[in-house]
Structure formats: C-alpha cells, structure tokens
Chains A and B, each alone.
Chain A
Amino acid sequence: MKENLIELKNLPLGRTAKVKHLSSIGAARRRLLDLGLINGTVVEAMHKSPSGDPTAYNIRGAVIALRSEEASKILVELN
C-alpha cells in the first residue's frame, strides 16, 4: 500500500482527497457507489458532528454524513 493513502475518517476537516480504494462490501458498497463515490472521486471533509462522529463530506456537490465505520473503509490520497 502506498504511504500517502489514509482512511477517509482520518482526513482533516477542510482538506480534500481523492478516493483510491473502497473496501466495503455488499449493500454498504453499493450505497457508496450510488452517491458517486468511485475511484478518483474528490472528497472534502466538512464538519464533524458534536460528538465527533459522524463526519459530513462534500461528495460531488452534495453533503453526505458518514459514520467512522464507513469512512474507515474508504482509502483516499491527500490532494
């Protein structure tokens, strides 16, 4: 695995990154695909909920909240 790949949940707020790998499977994976989250999609971490989880991401112009469980299965490369 390349060194500059991190889990999406570790993406600092305000930073953008490019999706490199989805490791979720089945329904969870299809849900992410439906949101337009595929290889190469640019994602920005926007806000954290008051308790720190979930986090809202800007995905193709829509603001989508993902729990850390989901976000940890998405590997991204920092821009």
Chain B
Amino acid sequence: MGLTNQSTGSSLLGNGTIIDRTSCSGFIIALSGNPNVGKSTVFNSLTGLNQHTGNWPGKTVATCYGKYKYKNKNFILVDIPGTYSLMANSAEEEIARDFVCFENPDATVVVTDATCLERNLNLVLQTLEITGKVVVCVNLIDEAERKKIHIDCKKLSDRLGVPVIATNARSKRGLDELTDAVYNIALGFVRANPLQITYDETIEQAIELIRPAVREVTGGKINDRWVSLRLLDGDASLLESLNKFLGFNIPDNSILRQDLKKARQFLEQNGINADQLRDRIVSRIISISEEICRDAVSFGNKQYNDTDRKIDSILTSKIFGIPVMLALLAVIFWLTIAGANYPSELLANLLFGIEDRLTDIFISLNVPGWIHGVLITGTYRTLAWVVSVMLPPMAIFFPLFTLLEDLGYLPRVAFNLDNFFKKACAHGKQALTMCMGFGCNAAGVIGCRIIDSPRERLIATITNTFVPCNGRFPTLIALSAIFIGGMANGASGSLVSTLSLTAVVLLGITITLVVSKILSKTILKGLPSSFALELPPYRKPQVGRIIVRSILDRTIFVLGRAAAVAAPAGFIIWIMANVRVGGVSILAHTAGFLDPLGKLLGMDGYIILAFILGLPANEIVLPIIIMSYMASGSLIEYSGMEQLRHILVSNGWTPLTGICVMLFSLMHFPCATTLWTIRKETRSMKWTLISFAVPTAAGIIACFIIANAARFLGLA
C-alpha cells in the first residue's frame, strides 16, 4: 500500500522490460507464485531490499528486483506478479509467463502456500512445462503445522522432479536451504528431472502434428512442446510475445500455419473444440495436483479453517459486517487524531529550536537579511511546518492501517462492499485499490492493475483520488479538529473530529460509487465483468516489523518529499510575497485574481492558490495557506492547534470555509506524482486529463452547492 521507492518508479520494470544482462553480472532468479503466498516476504528476506508486503491477493503489481550474494556468486532476484496460472488470462499472467519463458532465468522459484498446496501446484506444474530449472518453495509451513497439515517435501520433490524446500519466510526458517537449492539449480550442480505432464492421446497426437514445425521455427530457444500446446490452445498473446522477444512471426510461417490448421481440424474431428481443449488441459493438471497431494499432504485436522470461519461469520455478517468496518476505521482515526498532538509539538519545538540556532549563525556571519529570509523564514520554516504538522498523523495512521492489511482484513472489506460496486457497474477489487489509495493515490493507481477489465480499471483509476491519501489526512484532521471538533469541548472534541473524518471518508466512498456509476453510463459504458476474490486466511501480523518499517519508510519518504517539494514551494511563496508590483505583492495580486472563484466555492483566493501550488504534493497545501496569510510571506512558528485556529479565523475562516476546504481537499485534481502515474499506466493523455478534470469538477460542484446553500439559508 505504501509508496515505497519500488512503487514510485525508481526500480520498476515496465511490462515486457528485459533486464539488461550485460549491465548486471549475476544469476537471474525469477520469483513466482500464487497471489498472497508470502512471495514478497521471501523476496525481502533474501534481498534485504525493502519492498512493501501485504496480505491481499495481487499485491505485487509491478516487477521489482533485488540482489543477494551466496557462495561468492551474485544473484538477481526478480519478483514477478503473483498469478494462479501462466495461461495469460490477464496482463499480470502475461508478464509472469513472459518472464519465465523469455527472460531465461537461471532458476525460477515458485513460492507456494503450504496451507493450500493443491491449488498452488497448478502453477508449479505449469511452470515445469516451460522449464525444469525450478525450485519449489513451500512457504507458510508454520501456519500449516499449526493447522496440523503435514507436508512430505521429500515425496513432493520425488514426484515433481525438482527441489522442494519448506520455508517460513517471516521467521527466516528454511531460507538457507532455499538459497542453497537455488544455487545448485542455477549453476547446474543439480540436474532436475521435471515431471512431464502427458495429456489425452488425442491432444498428444495434435501436439506432435505441429511440434516439428515449431521446433524448426524456434530453433531450440524455447520449449517446443509447451509452445505447441499453447498454439493449439489459441494463445494469441504468446504469438505477440514470441514476436516481441525472439522475433518469430508464427503467422508468417506457412508450414507451421498449415500444420496448426491440420492439428485443429484433427482435434475438432475428435470432438474437442477450443473451450474443451482448455478444459481438458486444466483438468489434467488439476488431477495431477490432486493425486500428488493425496500422496504428499496429510491433514491431522479436517476442520483446520474453523477459526477463520468463525471470525468471518462475524466480520462479514449481515448485522455486524458494515458496522465493524466503520468502527475499525473510526478507531484508527481516533488513535491518529488523539495521538498526533503531542509528537507534533515535540517536533515543532525541536525544529524551530534548530531554526533559532541557524538564525544566530546567519547573524554572526553577517549574512544579508534577504538571504536569511529566503532560506530560513521561507524555505526552512516551510519544511519544519510540513514535518511537524504532517508527519505525526502519517506515522500513526500508516502502521495502524498496515496492521489491518497484514491481518488480512482488507479483502473482507472488498467482500462486504462488493455489492455496492456491482451496482455501480464497477469491479469488486476497486475496494482494494481504494484501500491502497489511503496510503498514496499513486500506489492506488498502480494497484488498479489487479483489475483485468480495461473499462473497470479506468473507472478505478479515475476515481482513486476520492480516497484521501496519507498526504491529505493531516489537513483533514487539522481542519476537522478546528472547525468541527472545536465546536465541542475537550475530550469530546477529538471524538467529534473522529466522526467527522469518518464521515469525510464515507463521503469519498459514496462519491466514488456515484462517479463510477456515471462513468459506466457515459464515457465508459459497459457491464461489470466476472470476478473472483480470494479471502486469504487471517494471519498474525508482524507488529514489530510493521511499526519499524512503516515509521522508517514513512519518515524517510515524507522527509524526502518535503525537502523536494515543500522547500522549493516555500522559496517561491517567499519570493511571491516579497516582490512587489505597484506596491502590492505578486502573491496578493494572484490571490486577488482567484478570489472571486474562491468566494463562489466558499473559500478564498489564497486557498485556491494553495491548492494549485500544492499540485506537486498535497502535504503542502495547508502550510502554503498559512504562509500566504502571514503578511511577510513566511510562516510563524507552529505551536499548536489553537494557534492554527487563530490564524485561520482571523483571516476570515468560518466553519463553512473549513468544510469547503475539506471537501475540496477530498475532491480535486490528483497530485503531480499520481497524474504522472496515471499517464504511465493508461498510456493516454486523454485519460490523464479526464482523471484531472472529473474530481476537480466534482469538488467545484460540491463546494458551490454547499457554500451557496449555506449562504442562502443564512448559516454563513
């Protein structure tokens, strides 16, 4: 969910990107597996590279890689998308297949879930059809043992013909054996003897009809038996990939084309059409999986899923499902609101203390006043503001939300909410991409890859910004505390602001559904596509790791972004406020120009300007507003919520202004990072512009109605 370096692009490999083998010396190891089997944990444990992990299907939405060393050899571990199959039913399966098939990894590690091995073997067997250089990692073995599921890895390995290693990546159990097995396979010290799947006589004959021609065309660069089978299955995307990666244009080859036609006719004559062929292939693989598992897996307790079942019967029940969900959300907000105050003040004291020291140094060095103004009162102070006001709520909210994610609760949210999404003609997994949006909308947009249908993916992309991201939460929290919670007293204040924040999020979800529906009826017409959502077993969260990682990740990320964005913004605002044209500062001129629009929407020109200047990062919107209100164009030192309230109120803010700013914060153009990500994901300027325009229009309409209704009714 979090916006780590991996998900923001620094180490993303786009679709079909080939790792440049010349630039990196090392053995390339592909890490594949079904969604949600702890693949990312294996990845992190082996490489130490910190990639965000979570407990929901389809987590790894992009290909990441990391390096490790073993016995003085370099290994490059590539985390390919989690899939159930390699039959290219979706973009992710295509990426996974292309990697295993065309990138020629020196070994492929297939991570499987020990508690659900039979289904996982489907992918193992499909991988073995492509390559024998495979190591099977039976992960989550501790969980299986707890559920009294016994797995005989020796027997499994004998049957599959490749090494099988039991691991529990969280506790690093079995990882040494895994690295060793990978080493042996990659360097060719162990020759695998992979299980060969044979199909019905008819299918085998059809394969043999085209196999010679396939062998001729591919020249041994790729497993011809497997390619033949896929060609019979009519896998169009494989044709594209063969052309893209190896330059083989199958349809151009007349012999192969004829043979393929013959083989298809042969199948038809024997009563096997395209759908039946696929059924038979899949059924065969599944029945082999079944048979292997009967042999190698034993269940000490048939009712091993009882606890999960009991928990689910409450968390997804008609009576408690939705209320529990809302309560959990509210508790997280309350902890965030109540817990953020003290560290905020602590940070402010520290950072503004440093500022005083810096000022002393500037004075002692006789630095001109304007340089001090630009660097300290402009740039540094903005930075200090962003860090002390914005960082604590993020550092509290993020680990709490990650905890829910780690437990496996989020797919239940999608389960509970699915019917609403279905009615909006949208995809059920959109609830998951919304959850990712809480962390960061750019991550949410990348997450939309888990939705296969292009139409529904676009809907999820365009509406993702209606979920307030981590960067907007602190603004919403501060404003709800001041203008809504502030009306109540003391302890009930934080309760009121909790409720109002929950209401804001609910509003965001409602708007998401309404806009999704509107999009489905207008520019993105269509019916909901098929959908199957896995509800993974609940898992004990790694509390220590979550806290350390999210605080570290968040802290480093927020500080980095603040330095990159807030500091220059502070610089620009200081200049705008201090350069005067006709006796009035540029800042006042611009704000004056925007003021009529601002007033129309219940806000003012400075606020609109702050939203525009906040395009690079939502974190800086509130600091820019405050900074602009200070005549000198620099912020005063932050000393607490009360002071913030004073500044806003003395600049003409009413509860209506607060509400309109909150609404506009919830509904306006996505930040620059998100827009850039949308452009990259949709590969379309048109959809990027629509993603900009739709939320902005929604925000303008909402604020206009609220502001004018309140004025008309004499409430403001």
Contact = CB atoms under 8 A, between A and B. Distances in A.
Interface in A1-53: 22, 24-25, 27-36, 38-39, 46-53
Nearest to B280: A38
Nearest to B533: A65
B419 A53 contact: yes
Contacts of B537: 63
Contacts of B275: 25, 29
B305 A58 contact: yes
A24 B535 contact: no
Contacts of B452: 27
Contacts of B159: none
A56 interface: yes
B87 A30 contact: yes
A46 B55 CA distance: 21
B312 A67 contact: no
B495 to A, nearest CB: 26
B115 A24 contact: no
Nearest to B281: A33
Interface residues of A, number: 37
Interface string A48-76: 11111110101111111111011000000
Contact of A50 (B84, B321, B532, B533): B321
B530 A31 contact: yes
B534 interface: yes
Contacts of B116: 60-62
B278 interface: yes
Given A52-B419, A62-B116, A67 B316 contact: no
A27 B87 contact: no
Interface string B426-451: 00100000000000000000000000
B632 interface: no
A35 B316 contact: no
B419 A51 contact: yes
B422 A49 contact: no
A56 B283 contact: no
Interface string B524-545: 0000111111111100000000
A24 B312 contact: no
Contacts of A22: 279
Interface residues on B, range: 35 or more
Interface centre among A22, A28, A30, A61 (most CB of B within 10 A): A61
Chain B interface main SS type? helix
Given A27-B89, A34-B84, A64-B533, A49 B119 contact: no
Contacts of A39: 283
Interface centre among B116, B278, B283, B532 (most CB of A within 10 A): B532
B318 interface: yes
Given A27-B452, A36-B286, A49-B416, A69 B535 contact: no
B261 interface: no
Contacts of B286: 36, 38
B532 A31 contact: yes
A47 B308 CA distance: 11
B112 interface: no
A49 B309 contact: no
Contacts of A36: 118-119, 122, 286, 289
A28 B532 CA distance: 9
B510 interface: no
Interface string B89-104: 1000000000000000
A70 B532 contact: yes
A15 to B, nearest CB: 14
Interface centre among B87, B119, B322, B529 (most CB of A within 10 A): B119
B143 to A, nearest CB: 12
Given A30-B87, A30-B89, A34-B282, A53 B534 contact: no
Interface string B110-132: 00000110110010000000000
A41 B416 CA distance: 26
A32 to B, nearest CB: 7
B119 A50 contact: no
Nearest to B318: A50
B118 A60 contact: yes
A40 B254 CA distance: 41
Nearest to A33: B282
A56 B418 contact: no
A31 B115 contact: no
Contacts of A24: 530
A56 B316 contact: yes
Given A24-B530, A60-B118, A62-B534, A38 B313 contact: no
A61 B119 contact: yes
A22 B289 CA distance: 20
Nearest to B118: A60
Contacts of A47: 312-313, 316-317
Interface in B263-291: 275, 278-279, 282-283, 286, 289
A11 to B, nearest CB: 16
Nearest to A69: B530
A33 B533 contact: no
Interface string B478-520: 0000000000000000000000000000000000000000000
A34 B85 contact: yes
Contact of B532 (A46, A58, A66): A66
A28 B85 CA distance: 14
A7 B693 CA distance: 44
A67 B428 contact: yes
A35 B548 CA distance: 36
Nearest to B117: A61
Interface string B183-212: 000000000000000000000000000000
A38 B283 contact: yes
Contact of B418 (A54, A63, A64): A54
Contacts of A29: 275, 278
Contacts of B115: 61
A73 B283 CA distance: 18
Contact of A64 (B85, B312, B318, B532): B532
Interface in B26-47: none
A49 B533 contact: no
B667 to A, nearest CB: 26
B362 interface: no
B87 A34 contact: yes
A49 B530 contact: no
Given A24-B530, A27-B530, A49 B283 contact: no
Task: Sort A-B residue pairs by CB-CB distance and give the 9 closest, nearest first.
Answer: A28-B530, A50-B321, A51-B419, A34-B84, A33-B282, A63-B535, A65-B533, A34-B85, A61-B116
Given A60-B119, A62-B119, 19 more contacts: A28-B529, A31-B89, A34-B85, A34-B89, A34-B122, A38-B279, A38-B283, A49-B321, A49-B415, A51-B419, A54-B419, A61-B116, A63-B312, A63-B537, A65-B533, A67-B418, A67-B422, A67-B531, A70-B531
12 contacts: A27-B89, A29-B278, A30-B87, A30-B89, A33-B282, A38-B279, A47-B317, A50-B322, A61-B305, A63-B305, A69-B528, A70-B532
Interface of A: 22, 24-25, 27-36, 38-39, 46-54, 56, 58-67, 69-70
